[in-house]
Each structure stands twice: as C-alpha cells, then as structure tokens.
Amino acid sequence: MNKATFDRVSSWVFDLDHTLYPRQNCLFDQIEVKMTDYVMQNLGINRERANRLRKNYWNIYGTTLSGLMKEYSIDPKKFLHDVHQIDFSVLEPSPDLGEAIANLNGRKIIYTNGTAIYAQEVLTALEILPVFDSIYGVENADYLPKPEAGAFEIIFKKDGISPQNAAMFEDDPRNLIAPKSLGMQTVLVGQNHLEKPNHVDFVTNDLGYFLRQIV
C-alpha cells in the first residue's frame, strides 16, 4: 500500500458488523436468529422456511428488512427494535483499533445497515464510541439499505462528505460498488476474501494494522 494514496482523504467511513470486530465474536449470529424468529412469528411459517427467506432476501435486496418491507410492507421500526435485543458482552474491547482510528486525520463516520442506536451499543462494548464524529443507521437513509447507491447518496449528503476525499471500509464487497463509483477509496475488510474485486482498492484482514500503516 502506498501511504500517499490516502493523503487526500478527510472523511473516513466505516461499516460496523464484521468490519470493526471479527466474525468469530458471533454477535451477528444472534441477530440472524432474531430475524428468523421475527419472520416465523409475523408470516406464520416454520423455522426452516423462515431462515431460507431471511437469507434469500439478504441476497436479493441487500438486507432481510428491505425484502420484508417490499414483499410484506412490515414496520421497519418494530423489526429493527426486536432483532437488536441481543447480548453485547460477547464483544471484547478494542482500544488499539480505537487509537488507530482516532489518529486518522479528518472525520470518522459509522454507516451501518443496522440502527444508529445498535451501532452505539456495539461501539460502547468495543470501548471506541468517542472516536467517531457521527453515526448513521439504515433509518437515516429512509430505510434504504446498502448496497443501493441512493442510500449512500443520502448519508453522504447529510454528513457533507465529498466522495473524492473519502474512504470506505466494509466487509461486504457489494457495499463498496457504489462508493467506488462515486470516487471513494475502498477497503475490503475480513479474513474470508481470497480475491480483490475490481471496485476494491485494498483488502485487509487486520483493520488496525492497515490503519496504522496509513498514519
């Protein structure tokens, strides 16, 4: 990586789940169980079918919520409240990551397909909440989810982000397509990415280490 690549970056946009903490924590596994339970109860179907529907909607629409809203007109507020009632104690504090993010020059933003309140809970458990200047959830994009380009445009406009002077960190390659098309530097985070898609500038399995190289 050429450190100078990030010299023009003044806005640092971070996804949350599986970006700021590893999959091994299994935090999101709890949410997936809650989503399956919600689908079962509200659509009156068995667990196997509900779980399959949850996965299909995530693949087709970007999030399970988006699929349920489009196919069944569910209330997103109740869904998001219910599925985020989970145990955050599985997360371990990440002071080194917090320090690496804090040392970046410019604004530090969280943008997640979860809710802003949920993001605050995660960041509190990681003990890095004060590092970030703003937190945006799916509700701040009028429930339009990543990877839809319109969702990014809403959030970036609200925060005054100039994509040409910004970088995005994500664990889902789909969610970097729109940022790259807008002119952002894109970084794919996680241990399961064996190849680098054309719309991804960098891949790392250690976000803290990657950020320290920039500084």
Taking CB atoms within 8 Å and a gap of at least 24, the contacts of 189-198 are: 189/15, 189/18, 189/19, 190/18, 190/19, 190/23, 191/22, 191/23, 192/23, 197/173
The pLDDT mean for the chain works out to 95
pLDDT attached to residue 194: 72
* Nearest to 209, CA basis, from 194, 179, 195, 189: 189
Write down the pLDDT at residue 25: 86
Residue 191 confidence (pLDDT) above 80: no
Geometric angle at alpha carbon 11, from 211 and 139, rounded to 5°? 110
The yes-or-no verdict on residue 3 having pLDDT over 70 is: no
Whole-angstrom distance, CA of residue 171 vs CA of residue 189 = 5
The torsion angles phi and psi of 75, rounded to 5 degrees, stand at -80, 110
pLDDT over 90 for what percent of the chain?
Answer: 92
Residue 1, pLDDT above cutoff 90: no
pTM, entire model: 0.93
pLDDT in tens, 102-126: 999 999 999 999 999 999 999 999 9
Q: Which two tokens stand for residue 66?
A: 């988006």
Please report the pLDDT score of residue 82 as a whole number.
95
Q: What mean pLDDT do residues 17-45 have?
A: 94
Q: What Rg, from alpha-carbon coordinates, does the chain have?
A: 17
- Alpha carbon distances (Å) from 38 to 41, 60, 65: 5, 19, 11
